[in-house]
Amino acid sequence: MQLDNFLCFAIYSANHAFTRVYKPLLDELDLTYPQYLVMVVLWEKDDQTVGSLGEKLFLESSTLTPMLKRLEAMGYVARVRDKVDERQVRVRLTETGRALKEKARGVPLGIADATGMEPAEIVRLKQEIAALRASLLR
Amino acid sequence: MQLDNFLCFAIYSANHAFTRVYKPLLDELDLTYPQYLVMVVLWEKDDQTVGSLGEKLFLESSTLTPMLKRLEAMGYVARVRDKVDERQVRVRLTETGRALKEKARGVPLGIADATGMEPAEIVRLKQEIAALRASLLR
DNA sequence: TCCGATTAAATCGCACGCGATATATATAAG
DNA sequence: CTTATATATATCGCGTGCGATTTAATCGGA
């Protein structure tokens, strides 16, 4: 029953540490870390519904809706009701949003660098943690 | 440049997953997950300053002060100015706060269970992530 | 066709978490 | 002793995150 023995705390604090490392890199793009993750998902596949983004990011609409409105206000995405199913909102990159991908090109390398880990090691650790996440959500 | 390849996202989402697993267990204790972490630190060593808690938890006073006030309002801790150095606030467990440790006894086991991992494996992964955190903060 | 059930977002209230700043106390330098 | 500096918390504003609820649209069955 000691904090240093908690796997959860290691993850909790490592997550904060990542946020700190990302901050100066993302300031250049005027993005917060969660907003950056949304953009990554959209750069990967444009024109997704709020629900689809939520599934991939493990976030609720109550979190995404305000975030997406901020990204829209900044001119990076557009939110449009689906013509076929008006319940859904489709999120699309604007030209500016698409262009931002270039500016963000160097970010992952800067992060990988800060981890001080070998690429293969990063992949392995990432997979272990993804497996842990799956167990927890089971 | 794909979300699934991001170590940071694995950690980000695993952290959320942990929070979800903790929720039902901590509801019994009327604690949030970050509040629980504070209590763990205090159960380990009572009568600490805000700064000391912040060092161990990697949190700022701007985060801790409101949290500690809530824990105080719930009757789990007392906040008292240090007589010798009036700049410091000492955080002490109340009788109720100390007693809560017994009620929380089963929590770590429930969590370890949800990870689906062997104890030794948990320790190893925890150490790897703690090392990563150290690199990131460097 | 019509009405109840389901689904997708949005809204609301609350609790983090932090950067920037303010306030109060302690320390140091002369 | 006095003033400048440093330190410890607290405050403020903003952006997540989520559970609970609401709103609007769609689907399903009689």
Compute the distance between CA of residue A39 and CA of residue A42 in angstroms, rounded to an integer: 5
Place of tokens 């509801």: B27
Q: Which one-letter amino acid corresponds to residue B57?
A: L
3-state secondary structure (DSSP) of residue B93:
strand
Q: In this predicted model, what pLDDT tens digit does every residue of A98-110 receive, in sequence order?
A: 999 999 999 999 9
- Please report the pLDDT score of residue B64 as a whole number: 98
Task: Establish, for the pair of chains A and B, how many residue pairs have beta carbons separated by less than 8 Å.
Answer: 152
Ramachandran sector of residue A31 (left: φ over 0; alpha: ψ -120 to 50; beta: rest) = beta
Interface test with B, best of A1, A4, A6, A8 (most B CBs within 10 A): A8
Q: In this predicted model, what pLDDT tens digit does every residue of B15-58 receive, in sequence order?
A: 999 999 999 999 999 999 999 999 999 999 999 999 999 999 99
Q: Where do the domains of chain B lie, and which CATH numbers do they carry? A: 1-30+106-138 (no CATH), 34-99 (1.10.10.10)
| Mean pLDDT score of chain B | 97
pLDDT band at A74 (very low <50, low <70, confident <90, very high): very high
Give the list of residues 6+ apart from residue A77 with CB closer than 8 angstroms, or none: A42, A68, A71, A91, A92, A93, A94, A97
Q: Measure in Å the smallest separation between the Cα of A75 and chain B Cα atoms.
A: 22
> Which residue from A44, A49, A41, A43 is spatially nearest to A84, judged by alpha carbons?
A49
